[in-house]
Amino acid sequence: MEEQPPERSEAGAEACGEKRGLSQAAEESIEDRISLLLRLRAQTKQQLLEYKSMVDTNEEKTPEQIVQEKQIEVKIEDLENEIEDVKSNIEMKSLALSRMKLSVALRDNMENMGPENCVLTDDMKHILKLQKLIMKSKEESSELEKKLLDVRKKRLQLKQASRSKLLEIQTEKNKQKEDVDKMENSETIKTMKKKLQTEIKITTVVQHTFQGLILASKTNWAEDPALRETVLQLEKDLTRYEKNPTV
Amino acid sequence: MSVLRSMDKLPDLNRATVLLVSTEDALLQQLAESMLKDDCASELRVHLANSLPLPSNVNRPRIDLIVFVINLHSKYSLQKVEEFLQHVDSSFFLGKVCFLVTGAGRESHCSVHQNTVIKLAHTYRSPLLFCDLQVESFRAAMARRLVRILQICAGHVPGVSALNLMSLLRSPENPPSKEL
């Protein structure tokens, strides 16, 4: 009699064990099935999205005229860039959204956290400090940039001023040259030149007369050095003064 | 004699089909086996083809991804692939076509220059993958990659579409020319 209850309890225990095993297996299979169903649902959603987008594209009218290959390439690149822009927009928006969600969750959990609270508050204080530092350094950098810009402007102004001054100097020099040229062609110079010519002619005639006088007197002018000097001087050609008036 | 269209048929549930096209049979066989060995949540179907257009009398599921395998050692494979591309509808080129190049490792045997293939992939705006299909480990890695791409093209990955992937895998605009 006493053996039977333990047997029955054993059998009962085994039966319980089996039931537990069965329910576990059933649970697992149910879980598998649920996950499969969820996955299939996600798949069908994605495929539906793809088909919808295809339908939408087919509703748009494609241009019938034959576009050149280069233009097609450019268009394709533009469209690809558009896709990239939209994608980056979505990424930024989802980033902002997740950030907001995080801050809301943080705020809600602040009361509930105990010893971990101080770590969080320390982190947040550190973040605030760093952000203040960032803002300050940004202001400083913008001020420095402004100064740099001012210095550059001044430099440009100085350059322009020096350029204009040099231009003035050049025009002045040109004017002077013109004046000199003009003077050379003026009337006074011409009359002076004529006078010079007549004077030279007179002097040449006088020279020749003196030469004739000395030669006709039949003296030996080579012996007397003073007489020789005079004769040689009379031989000098005066027309070179006409050619080079500065001598 | 039909052109392959991407959205002609409805997709089968949890099933993804890839079409491997090349003139080299052995490579395709090996690649297909590697792809099937990889375990993924969706059911994989691998179709092999030596030439396009495919015969139209066979009942075939919707093809999600076409992989053109080009062997750099033979100009014939490149020529044939260029011919096959005419039989594919333009809707496939929105991310459902992929070019796989093998044999780039041994420069001395290459009769097709890499730049040719790069330009081809650039014209068709499709991703270009390089792999040495003779080596087992590289092949297995490439098979895994292809399985992931196939899953995305079949719509099994929520949030990522084939077009999305195409713009992610976009290569720089001017293919760099190799200095000889």
In this complex, which of A40, A49, A77 lies closest to B14 when CB atoms are compared?
A: A40
Share the mean pLDDT of chain A: 83
| Cβ contact B173–A47 (<8 Å) | no
Total number of domains in chain A? 1
ipTM of the complex, rounded to two decimals: 0.79
Domain locations along chain B:
15-169
pLDDT tens by residue, A26-82: 888 899 899 989 988 998 888 888 888 888 888 876 666 666 778 888 888 898 889
Q: What residues in B contact A76, CB-CB < 8 Å? A: 125
In this complex, which of A40, A50, A76 lies closest to B125 when CB atoms are compared?
A: A76
pLDDT tens by residue, A85-137: 998 999 999 999 999 999 898 888 777 766 667 787 888 889 999 999 999 99
Residue A230 forms part of a structural domain: yes
CATH of B15-169, one of 3.40.50.300, 3.40.1190.20, 3.40.640.10, 3.30.1490.20: 3.40.50.300
pLDDT of residue A65: 66
pLDDT of residue A18: 58
Residue A205 forms part of a structural domain: yes
Residue A9 has pLDDT above 60, yes or no: no
Q: What residues in A contact B154, CB-CB < 8 Å? A: 43, 47
Are B124 and B171 a contacting pair, CB within 8 Å? no
Residue A134 forms part of a structural domain: no
The pair of three-digit structure tokens given for residue A135, joined into one six-digit string: 């803002």
pLDDT of residue B178: 47
**Residue A175: band (very low, low, confident or very high) from pLDDT cuts 50, 70, 90:** very high
The CB density around residue B149, as the number of other CB atoms within 10 Å, is: 23
Q: Give the rounded percent of residues in chain A with a pLDDT score beyond 70.
A: 84
- Mention every residue, 6+ apart, whose C-beta is less than 8 A from residue A245: A193, A196
CB contact, 8 Å: B13 with chain A? Answer: yes
Residues in chain B, pLDDT under 50: 1, 178-180
pLDDT of residue B145: 92
Residue A1 has pLDDT above 60, yes or no: no
pLDDT of residue B89: 84
Q: How close is the nearest chain A Cα to the Cα of B92, in Å? A: 11
Q: How far apart are CA B69 and CA B129, in angstroms?
A: 10
Residue A121 forms part of a structural domain: no
Query: Which residues 122-161 of B have a C-beta within 8 angstroms of A?
Result: 125, 154-159, 161
pLDDT of residue A110: 74
Residue A192 forms part of a structural domain: yes
Residue A198 forms part of a structural domain: yes
pLDDT of residue B164: 82
Q: Which residue has the tokens 């691998």?
A: B46
Residue A59 forms part of a structural domain: no
pLDDT of residue A3: 45
Residue A131 forms part of a structural domain: no
Q: How far apart are CA B90 and CA B88, in angstroms?
A: 6
Q: How far apart are CA A7 and CA A15, in angstroms?
A: 12
Provide mean pLDDT across the span A137-149.
Answer: 97
Q: How far apart are CA B122 and CA B166, in angstroms?
A: 12
pLDDT of residue A246: 59
* Structural domain span for residue A193: 188-239
Give how far the C-alpha of residue A194 lies from the chain's centroid of Cα atoms, to the nearest Å.
69
